[in-house]
């Protein structure tokens, strides 16, 4: 059997099959995978082949909230998205490179910077719909508007 790294075009079909399998096993109602998540899966080398893919999709199905229907990048294990294309490690939550941080910053500043970048990413992923972004973030629209104002997000 050929390795998965040589047949990355099959990942879409394999993931759909696995979603159906895990929906039954875990009592979920996931219907699809986001384009960003599929692209992330296709960038990975898959040294563990299909079993590794199945393991990661299983973990994503466990990480997804009960009401969510689409697996997104942040549901996937960090190993799949914690490297840039040139192999540099990045922060798996905000995708900020460590060197972007001033080493003299206090933790509260780093948390705010990370929160700002994450909100910007979620807004973009939701086509700048603040209602959808707030839902994805698990906060009220009012809280999101407050944070957008606080961080000067455009």
Helices 130-137/107-125 angle, 10° precision = 130
Structure tokens given for 26: 């875990």
**Do the beta carbons of residue 122 and residue 137 sit within 8 Å?**
yes
4 and 55 co-located in one domain? yes
Task: State the pLDDT confidence band at 125, using cuts at 50, 70 and 90.
Answer: confident
pLDDT for the residue 11: 95
Question: Buried (b) or exposed (e) across 75-104, using 16+ Cβ within 10 A?
Answer: bbeeebbeeeeeeeebbeebebeeeeeeee
pLDDT of 5 over the 60 cut: yes
pLDDT of 57 over the 90 cut: yes
pLDDT for the residue 154: 81
Nearest-angstrom CA–CA distance, 75 and 127:
19
Structure tokens given for 65: 């909230």
What spatial distance separates the first Cα and last Cα of the chain, rounded to whole Å? 50
Regarding predicted confidence, which is higher, 78 or 16?
Answer: 16
Domain interval for residue 108: 84-154
Task: State the pLDDT confidence band at 97, using cuts at 50, 70 and 90.
Answer: very low
pLDDT for the residue 18: 96
What total of structural domains would you count in the chain? 2
Q: What is the pTM for the complete model shown?
A: 0.55
**Do the beta carbons of residue 53 and residue 18 sit within 8 Å?**
yes
Q: Cα dist. 79→31, 72, 76, 82 in Å?
A: 24, 14, 8, 6
97 and 28 co-located in one domain? no
49 and 125 co-located in one domain? no
**Which of residues 48, 66, 81 is at a domain's end?**
81
127 and 140 co-located in one domain? yes
pLDDT of 95 over the 70 cut: no
67 and 117 co-located in one domain? no
74 and 110 co-located in one domain? no
pLDDT for the residue 68: 86
In this structure, what CATH number is given to the domain that contains residue 22? 1.10.8.60
């Amino acid at each position: 059997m050929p390795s998965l790294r040589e047949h990355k075009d099959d990942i879409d079909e394999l993931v759909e099959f696995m979603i159906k399998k895990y929906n039954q096993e875990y009592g979920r109602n996931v219907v699809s995978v986001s384009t960003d998540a599929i692209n992330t899966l296709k960038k990975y080398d898959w040294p563990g082949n299909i079993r590794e893919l199945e393991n990661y999709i299983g973990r994503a199905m466990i990480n997804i909230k009960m009401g969510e229907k689409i697996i997104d990048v942040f549901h996937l294990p960090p190993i799949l998205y914690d490297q840039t294309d040139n192999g540099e490690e990045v922060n798996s939550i905000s995708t900020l490179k460590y060197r972007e941080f001033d080493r003299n910053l206090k933790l509260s500043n780093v948390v705010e910077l990370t929160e700002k970048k994450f909100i910007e990413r979620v807004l973009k992923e939701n086509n700048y719909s603040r209602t959808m972004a707030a839902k994805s973030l698990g906060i009220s629209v009012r809280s999101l508007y407050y944070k957008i104002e606080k961080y000067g997000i455009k």
